[in-house]
Amino acid sequence: MSRASKLTLLGTTLFAGATVVFVHFQQKAEQAAMHEGVLRDIEQQRIKRERQADFDMQRALEAEYKREQSVRESTSSPSDGIGSAAAGR
């Protein structure tokens, strides 16, 4: 083989090897990034479930308090006794 053909073979072999190594590390980096994204999504779903559970608990407490307490509408007329005690002072 001539010197030029040996250098060409060496150059193409090195280029092919470097390409394989580059693709390998690129795939590993993408896999790690996707794994981080999955972990982030799982954490966001966990937080969302916690917030929904808190909201549901607050709704249940509100319903319980409304059952136990008498709640009047704020649009009621002043003649029903609310303002009469303050007027008599």
pLDDT along the chain (89 residues), means of 10: 95 98 97 96 97 97 88 63 52
Q: What is the pLDDT of residue 3?
A: 94
Q: What is the pLDDT of residue 89?
A: 47
Q: What is the pLDDT of residue 47?
A: 98
pLDDT of 14-24, one tens digit each? 999 999 999 99
Domain ranges in the chain are 29-64
CA distance 60 to 37: 35
pTM beyond cutoff 0.95: no
Q: What is the pLDDT of residue 43?
A: 97
Helix ranges (H only) for the chain are: 3-68, 84-87
